[in-house]
Structure 1
């Protein structure tokens, strides 16, 4: 089995990565970055997002594992104290996995430039650089509303606990395979009006955003940032691809949510 180990550059992550590589080599695994079957991310969620984008072209053959070395790791199931158990699980691997939906982002330009495609594990946002974002929002090609505000966030169910939650979106279980559209500081008064509520979109539908003034936008896809001009429209849908996590020690989704957002309070006995 070929295993890639990806880490951030904190002292703790480097130390854990070196220990893990030594254990993997001792167990006769092939460790390297090229064409892996397993990708082990050592760090936090940002490290796993980087690993996902590095190997997004191999999603049909690769499974991911997260080893947590920071303060909060929503996608990580393992810690330094049980990486020996992780290696044992790899030795007894039977190919099992749990998979999560991804977001397909398509950007179409006014000037006929070839459309761009991106995959997001968490979310994609569009924001106006130098003023209010004004755009028409379509659901499955039907006009829904004209949005005015700071920006829009389109998230996956697993990404619903990230930036989406911080701007008022709902937390969705990943088995729903739905998209969520959440507004950022929308303008609502007697002249301008939006729904001003998160929208949960069915898996067979899609969202299209058409800017009214198609210049100077910042598009984010997870932690990747791109400055865009002359966008004709953006289309968001559930991707055909899925991300797969090796299912050796996989924490239940609601346990992750509870641990991430309520754990400290529970531990204080409140």
Structure 2
């Protein structure tokens, strides 16, 4: 018996759709189970799906996600409210395909040997200084690469490459490629200071480690979460071992989603 859960954006439109979906699926004898769902339906936008992902990140090997958008077409939320019945019947009656996307693992180590903290990001993680100019040593595969000065760095997944990374001038990467991308945020480049000035794309067997040069305190974002970390020794980024799974009931190729999100007319 399939078990499902629903995450709503919380506005009235999303809540009405959430109630409808729950009623329809229950009529098909599916079981509502917020703790151990086989499928999680996100109703709202991409932000709602990010929230759902983090809520169920401990169950990524057992849970698949599907998104219904109540505003603009989302990158993850690709079903519309007027397709609700079609989606409900598909969930209840058809064996769905799952597609897997790579995730970003963020590992923060602390000075004085404090406990390490690990996060998973579906879209990206950013690192900024708390007050002074952001100065950090960048290591790739254990070798010093550059000393970066600027506003911060953004490390994204392939599916997250269309989000903040794109706004920073990063490349759009197809999510069949297990990779992460490092994009600069307003780097300082002059006769004294020099950064690479281009986004870097790292394969799954490479790690990137950031090491503080002056202040060890940072604002670190993981998708929609903003966290203050103090006494940081290093921040390591790599392609995570885990993947996120999306339930697909019809083809929706990645490049079509890119086109519809950024070029296509409403």
TM-score range, shorter chain: over 0.9
Q: Measure, in 1, the Cα distance between the counterparts of 2:93 and 2:72.
A: 30
Check conservation: 1:77, 1:249, Cα contact below 8 A.
Answer: no
> Partner residue of 2:107?
106
Check conservation: 2:212, 2:232, Cα contact below 8 A.
Answer: yes
Check conservation: 1:102, 1:119, Cα contact below 8 A.
Answer: yes
| TM-score (norm: length of structure 2) | 0.97
Q: Measure, in 2, the Cα distance between the counterparts of 1:151 and 1:143.
A: 18
> How many positions carry a matched residue from both structures?
265
Check conservation: 2:25, 2:92, Cα contact below 8 A.
Answer: no
Q: Provide Cα deviations, 1:153-211, integer angstroms capped at 9, x if missing partner.
A: 00000000001011111111111111100000000000000001100111111111111
> Partner residue of 2:230?
229
| TM-score (norm: length of structure 1) | 0.96
Q: Which moved more, 1:31-40 or 1:113-122?
A: 31-40
> Partner residue of 2:131?
130
User: Following TM superposition, by how much is the alpha carbon of 1:250 offset from its aligned partner in structure 2, in angstroms?
Assistant: 4.2
Q: Measure, in 1, the Cα distance between the counterparts of 2:133 and 2:248.
A: 44
> Partner residue of 2:64?
63
> Partner residue of 1:201?
202
- Please state if 1:14 is matched with 2:15: yes
> Partner residue of 2:152?
151
Check conservation: 1:77, 1:250, Cα contact below 8 A.
Answer: no
Q: SS in structure 1 opposite 2:105?
A: strand
Check conservation: 1:214, 1:232, Cα contact below 8 A.
Answer: no
Q: Measure, in 2, the Cα distance between the counterparts of 1:161 and 1:250.
A: 19
Q: SS in structure 1 opposite 2:113?
A: coil
Q: SS in structure 1 opposite 2:48?
A: helix
Q: Measure, in 1, the Cα distance between the counterparts of 2:162 and 2:23.
A: 34
Q: Measure, in 1, the Cα distance between the counterparts of 2:236 and 2:197.
A: 20
> Partner residue of 2:173?
172
User: Following TM superposition, by how much is the alpha carbon of 1:19 offset from its aligned partner in structure 2, in angstroms?
Assistant: 1.0
Q: Measure, in 2, the Cα distance between the counterparts of 1:121 and 1:250.
A: 21
Q: SS in structure 1 opposite 2:78?
A: coil
Gaps of 5+ in 1: none
